[in-house]
Amino acid sequence: MSGGKNINSMKPWLIRILVFALLWGCLWIRNDVKEAIFSLQMIVCAVAFTIYFFLPIMKRPIWFYLILQGFFCTFIWLDVPFMWIWIFLLFLTIEAVFLLSVIELRVLLVYSFGLLLLCSTILNEWPIPLFLAALFFFIIEVWLNRSFTERQEQGEVYQQLLGEYRQVKRMNLENEQVARLEERTRIARDIHDSVGHKLTALLMQLEMFSIQKKSEEYRELKALAIESLEETRLAVKTLKNEEVSGITSVIQLIRKLEAENQLLIRFTTKQGVLLTALSNEQSIVLYRSVQEALTNAMKHGSTKEVSLTFGRSAVGEIEWVVSNHIHGPVSFEAGFGLTAMRERVEEQGGQLRIYQTETEFIIEGSMPVS
């Protein structure tokens, strides 16, 4: 599914290559020159394409644009009309709008206009309409270049602010977890220091009374105190334990992925699903299944947006659906992660369906709960 991204990123470059090749094709179609000159034109074409192919990988493409435009001026010695020199120079300046800075583009436009004047002087041709058209296009190109540059700068500022926002959001999540853990620890300590100590003192008093007076009631009270003390200790232990399970653990996973800007998750819960009681093993299976589905969407989705829905079926099973956008259906095989996910769900008596539509890749799971 990741192949679609590479194809989309190549489209602008392929379009420019096709237009460049089309211009050469049109030039040759109208060409009616001697064989020797035609051979020279072929050599010029080969060199021009070689220079043109290097443009996308150059850190400073302005130099290649200057060289390429100067190279096209050799047309005046190859029996090429001035009109075609004008067309090729205009094509390069239009393309440079989106690749050069404001200052670099202005340098290129002045250079291009100077080349047009030079070629006109050598050919002794002064097509005023072409010069006026060139000036008109150059003005439009300056405006487009400035707008495009400003938009890029705004995008960079936005990305910088977005990065700072993610960092603050991540820190806020970490601080919230620390604060929650500290609060749980404080409550556990208070219960242990107050209720626990008082129950221990009560147990000792009951022990003394049961020794002094051999009464069945004291033994029952003692057993009740012991049970209350054990429940208190269990509650303290639970409060000190930060681990969460079930859908709560999935919610924490979602918050973590969003805080790290790995995914933008649209999370939906249907009526009654948050009250579903899951065993420890079922919680682990649910968490790992959703985690693997989100990881798969993160790796192969065409966008960062993912939809996650939890619900209950008519027979009481817990259901979940994870879907993400794709650029058309592609052939795929379930890897180790998806296979292991299906096996875990099936071990709990559940089912897992993996399929795709024209625009979405979908993983549906269901699992019976007690």
> Does domain 246-367 match CATH 3.40.50.1000?
no
Question: What pLDDT, on the 0 to 100 scale, is given for residue 123?
Answer: 76
Question: What pLDDT, on the 0 to 100 scale, is given for residue 262?
Answer: 65
Contact status, residue 367 vs residue 317, Cβ threshold 8 Å: yes
User: pTM for the whole thing?
Assistant: 0.46
Contact status, residue 301 vs residue 260, Cβ threshold 8 Å: no
Nearest to 56 by CA among 21, 16, 22, 19: 16
Nearest to 287 by CA among 324, 329, 315, 245: 245
CA dihedral 238, 242, 243, 244 (to 10 degrees): 90
DSSP output for 257-323:
HHHTTS-EEEEEE-TTGGG----HHHHHHHHHHHHHHHHHHHHH-SSSEEEEEEEE-TTS-EEEEEE
Domain coordinates in residue numbering, the chain: 10-126, 168-240, 246-367
> Residue 255 is which amino acid?
R
Question: What pLDDT, on the 0 to 100 scale, is given for residue 286?
Answer: 84
Contact status, residue 19 vs residue 91, Cβ threshold 8 Å: yes
> Residue 252 is which amino acid?
Q
Q: How far is CA 13 from CA 9, 17, 19, 101, in A?
A: 8, 6, 10, 19
Question: What pLDDT, on the 0 to 100 scale, is given for residue 143?
Answer: 92
The per-residue pLDDT string of the chain (370 residues; one tens digit each, 9 = 90 and over) reads 444 444 444 566 677 777 777 777 666 666 555 666 667 767 777 777 777 777 767 777 888 888 878 777 777 776 677 777 777 888 888 888 888 888 888 888 888 888 888 888 887 878 888 888 888 988 998 999 899 888 888 888 888 887 777 777 766 766 676 676 667 767 777 776 677 677 777 777 777 777 777 766 767 777 777 777 777 777 766 665 554 556 777 777 777 777 666 678 888 888 777 777 777 778 888 888 888 888 888 877 778 888 888 888 888 888 989 998 887 777 777 777 788 888 888 988 889 888 888 888 889 999 888 6
